[in-house]
Structure 1
C-alpha cells in the first residue's frame, strides 16, 4: 500500500470519527470532502454537498453564512456563528491552506454544535432572574396570612404604609389615601377592608368622577318605587345602603361637585339616609374610606371642596408615593405581574436582566397601572421566550438611554444636537464597545440585551464592520 493510500485512510478516519463537522473545499470554494455527521448538522447528505460551490450553498441557506467563502475573501483564519437549516447553532472555524506560491488551495472548516450551550445560556438567564423573584416570594410566603395575594411589598416606603394600614384596620376611623393616579390606592383600600372586623361585610366602591350630578342622589341614596320617571317598580338600594355593616370606598372623592358634597356630608355625619321619594330615614352602619389624586387642602382654600367634609375624611391620611420614588419595587412588581400573565396566557416568558434595568430607569408617569399594562403588552407581543429591552416601547428605551448618557465619556459635550441624534450616538458607543469585547453577534446581543438579529441590523445601519452571525 502506497503512502498516498495511507494518507487517504487517515483522512477518512479523521472525517468519520470527529465529533465536529468538517468541510474541506478547494481554492475556488467547491466542496471536496465532508464528514459523515454533516447531515445531522446541515440537513444534507455528503453526496449532495460534494461538488457544490459554497456560494450556491450559502444562497440556498445551507451554510448561513459560509465560513469558507469568507476565508477565501479575507485570506485569513476566521470564526463565525452559523444557523443551520436543522435549527442548530454552530461555531464554525475556517483555516486557509496555502501552496508554495502563497495561493489558497484548500479551506478546512470545523463546525462545533453549540445549540445545547445556547439553551443552557437561556436557562441560566431565566434561573438568574427567577432567583431574584424567589427572594421576594419567600417573604411573601412568610407574610401570606396577613398580606393579600395581589400585594407586593418590597420598598421601605410600602412596608411602612402596610404597617400603618394594619394598625388602623380594626378601628372605624375614616381613612383617605392620597397619591398620583395608578399608584394602587384602591388596592390599599381593599386591603384595609379585608383586614378589618368588617371583612365579612360588603366593600362598595364608588367612582365619584363617573356619576353625573343629576344621578348622584338616586345612585348614592337609592329610590322608592315610582319616585320619578323611569324609576324601577321595585325601587333600588343606593351605594351607601349597600355598604351597611361593611365599607364605603369613595374613589377620587375630589371629583365631587360642591352641591353633591353637602348631601354626602350629611349622610356621613348622621349615618342615616333617606331614599329618593321616601320619607322614612334608615340608619346605616358603614366605615368610610376615600382616595384622591388631588390636593384637598388646596381645593379647600380655593373653595372647590368643603372644609367640613375635608376634616371628616382626613382623620387618617395615608400618602402612597409614586413608583419613580420607590424604584426597588419596579423589578418585584414586574416579576409579580409577569407570573400572573404567564399563567393567564399560558406562556413561559421571562425578563432579560437588561430589560429590568431599562424598566427601572423609566419614570412611570402612570405608576403601577402603567407598569402592569406594559408587562401585559410584552407578554403578548414579544416573539422570543426571553423579553429583551428592544421589545420595550420606544419611549421607555429612550428614557433609559438618556439616563445612561451621563455615564459615558464625552456625554457632557453633546450639545447642539437633537434628542434623536444624541440617542443614536449613545447607541453607537455601546455597539462599538460590544464589537471590541466580543467575537460574535450572539455574544454582543447577550451583552447588550438585544436580539441577535437586531444587533446585526444596527451594525449595518451604523456601518460598524459587521461581525459574522
Structure 2
C-alpha cells in the first residue's frame, strides 16, 4: 500500500468513526481530526486547524486538553471534559513513541456523554424517588390500622389519640367508604377499653321490626320464636367496651328514644324482662348524612343529636387527599398480591389513570377495585384496558395496548441489566420508535433533541443489530 492510499484510508477511518478521533504531533499541533467532533466544543473547523492544543486550552475551548496531559505525563490518560456548550465529553489519549522512546504522536478519542449522563442522572433521580416512596410506604405499613399522608388526616388521628383515654362520645362524619369504621376501631384500640369488646352495629342493615330485640335482647319465652334461654342484646355485649353505631342516621325514631334513655341512665331492660340491667360502654357513632338537616325535618331527635355531637370528626373524601392515593394503591396491590399469592403490578399508564380518578366510593372503592384487578386480569401487568370505563375513559386501541405491553416488557428487561446496557436499551427503543413516527432523519433529530448525523449513526447501529438478530 503506497503512502497516499494509506493516508486516504486513515482520513476515511477518522471521518466515519463513531468515536471522534484527533491526531496531534509532539508539539500538540492538530494534524488530523473528525471535523464533526469539534461542534461540541462550539467552534468551526477554522477555529482549530493550524492551532496547538495548548492554545485551545488557553482559550478555554479544551478544559482540559487530553493531548496536553498525555504529552506532560507521557502515558495514556482518560478524563471527562465539560465544554463551553454545556456538553460532557469522555476523552482518552494515547502516546505513540519512536524507537528512541520519544513521543511523536498523540491519538485521542472523544465521545459525547451528555445524553447518557442526563439519562443516568434521571435514572438516579428516579431511584432516589422510588426509595423515598418505598420508605414512606414502609412508614405507612408500620402505622397500625390507619394509613394516611395528608395534614387533614394527621389532625384527625391526633385528635383520636387525644380523646381516646376519655369516654367522650365521638361522631365520625363523612361520605361512604372514607374509613369511618376504621377510625372507630383505632379509637377503641387506643382507649383503656381496648381489651374489652368492640361491638359494631350497622343501623341500616337491621329491619325496624327486629331492631329492639337485636339491640336490647330478650328473655326466654318473651315472644313466639324466642330461644329458650333468651338472648343477650348488642348493647349488653358491649358492656365495659365500645358500642359503635354506624349509619346512625338510619336509626328508627322509636329506637332513638330508647337509646337516649340508655345513654342517660346507663341501664336498660331486655324484651320480656322484669329487672333492669346496668351497662357501661363508650358510644361511638358514624354517618354519611347531615344530622342537622334531619333534625329540622323531624327525622332525628334534637336531644339525641346533642348527645352524639360531643366530638364530631369530619373525614375528608379521598379526592380531597390526592397525595394519599398513590400510597393506598401500592398498599392494596401489595396486600392483594400476598393474599392471592400473585406478583402483579400496574403499568405506569394504569397507575396514572387511577391517580387521576375521583374515587366517589373512596377508600372502600379503591380496595375493592385492587382486589378485583388482581383476581381477574391475565398476565402480571395490569393495563388501562383492564380498568372500568368510568376510570380509563375511552377504550384503548389494540395498537396502543401492544405499545404498552412492549414498554412493560422493556421495563422488565431493564431490571436485569447493568446501567450502561439499560441506557443503550432505552436509546435503541427511542431511536426505532422515532423512525416509525418520522418520515426523515431531520424530523427524528428534532423529535429526539439530537443532531441529524447522530440520528444516522444510531440508526445504522440499531437497525443493523435488528437485521443481524433476524438473520441468525
The bucket for the TM-score relative to the shorter chain is: 0.5 to 0.7
Cα pair 1:152 1:336 within 8 Å, conserved: no
Structure 1 residues 443 and 375, CA gap change in structure 2 (3 angstroms): closer
- Looking at structure 2, the residues matched to 368 and 293 of structure 1 have their Cα atoms a distance apart, in angstroms, of 14
Q: Which residue of 1 aligns with 2:199?
A: 204
Q: CA deviation at 1:128?
A: 8.8
Cα pair 2:137 2:331 within 8 Å, conserved: no
Matched, 1:339 2:341: no
- Looking at structure 1, the residues matched to 391 and 410 of structure 2 have their Cα atoms a distance apart, in angstroms, of 16
Instruction: Output one character per residue of 1:428-455: Cα deviation in whole Å (capped at 9) or x when no partner.
Output: 9x97xx9xxxxx9479745999xxxxxx
Matches within 5 A, 1:18-417: 131=131, 133-140=133-140, 144=142, 147-148=143-144, 150-398=145-393
- Looking at structure 2, the residues matched to 130 and 355 of structure 1 have their Cα atoms a distance apart, in angstroms, of 18
Structure 1 residues 441 and 344, CA gap change in structure 2 (3 angstroms): closer
Instruction: Output one character per residue of 1:68-91: Cα deviation in whole Å (capped at 9) or x when no partner.
Output: xxxxxxxxxxxxxxxxxxxxxxxx
Q: CA deviation at 1:351?
A: 2.1
- Looking at structure 2, the residues matched to 361 and 137 of structure 1 have their Cα atoms a distance apart, in angstroms, of 20
**What SS class does the counterpart of residue 277 from structure 1 fall into?**
coil
Q: CA deviation at 1:264?
A: 1.2
**What SS class does the counterpart of residue 228 from structure 1 fall into?**
coil
Q: CA deviation at 1:158?
A: 1.2
Q: CA deviation at 1:200?
A: 0.6
Matches within 5 A, 1:411-426: none
Structure 1 residues 168 and 318, CA gap change in structure 2 (3 angstroms): same
Instruction: Output one character per residue of 1:263-282: Cα deviation in whole Å (capped at 9) or x when no partner.
Output: 11111111111111111111
Instruction: Output one character per residue of 1:242-290: Cα deviation in whole Å (capped at 9) or x when no partner.
Output: 0000000000000012112111111111111111111111110100000
**What SS class does the counterpart of residue 242 from structure 2 fall into?**
strand
- Looking at structure 2, the residues matched to 392 and 448 of structure 1 have their Cα atoms a distance apart, in angstroms, of 22
Cα pair 1:155 1:328 within 8 Å, conserved: yes
Q: CA deviation at 1:130?
A: 6.1
**What SS class does the counterpart of residue 140 from structure 2 fall into?**
helix
**What SS class does the counterpart of residue 317 from structure 1 fall into?**
strand
- Looking at structure 1, the residues matched to 313 and 164 of structure 2 have their Cα atoms a distance apart, in angstroms, of 13
**What SS class does the counterpart of residue 201 from structure 2 fall into?**
strand
Cα pair 1:198 1:245 within 8 Å, conserved: yes
- Looking at structure 2, the residues matched to 292 and 211 of structure 1 have their Cα atoms a distance apart, in angstroms, of 15
- Looking at structure 2, the residues matched to 442 and 276 of structure 1 have their Cα atoms a distance apart, in angstroms, of 64
Cα pair 1:267 1:273 within 8 Å, conserved: yes
Instruction: Output one character per residue of 1:39-80: Cα deviation in whole Å (capped at 9) or x when no partner.
Output: xxxxxxxxxxxxxxxxxxxxxxxxxxxxxxxxxxxxxxxxxx
* Structure with more relative contact order (C-alpha pairs < 8 Å, separation 6 or more): 1
**What SS class does the counterpart of residue 226 from structure 2 fall into?**
coil
- Looking at structure 2, the residues matched to 224 and 283 of structure 1 have their Cα atoms a distance apart, in angstroms, of 16
Structure 1 residues 184 and 198, CA gap change in structure 2 (3 angstroms): same
- Looking at structure 1, the residues matched to 320 and 195 of structure 2 have their Cα atoms a distance apart, in angstroms, of 35
Gaps of 5+ in 1: 1-123, 399-419, 435-439, 450-463
- Looking at structure 1, the residues matched to 293 and 366 of structure 2 have their Cα atoms a distance apart, in angstroms, of 29
Aligned length: 294
Cα pair 1:170 1:195 within 8 Å, conserved: yes
Cα pair 1:129 1:351 within 8 Å, conserved: no
Cα pair 1:300 1:306 within 8 Å, conserved: yes
Structure 1 residues 258 and 287, CA gap change in structure 2 (3 angstroms): same
CA RMSD of aligned residues (A): 3.4
Structure 1 residues 129 and 447, CA gap change in structure 2 (3 angstroms): farther
The structure having more radius of gyration, on CA atoms, is 2
Structure 1 residues 356 and 128, CA gap change in structure 2 (3 angstroms): farther
- Looking at structure 1, the residues matched to 196 and 279 of structure 2 have their Cα atoms a distance apart, in angstroms, of 13
Q: CA deviation at 1:132?
A: 5.5
**What SS class does the counterpart of residue 171 from structure 2 fall into?**
strand
Cα pair 2:169 2:284 within 8 Å, conserved: yes
Task: State which drifts further: 178-187 or 127-136.
Answer: 127-136
Gaps of 5+ in 2: 1-123, 412-436, 439-462, 467-472
Cα pair 2:137 2:327 within 8 Å, conserved: no
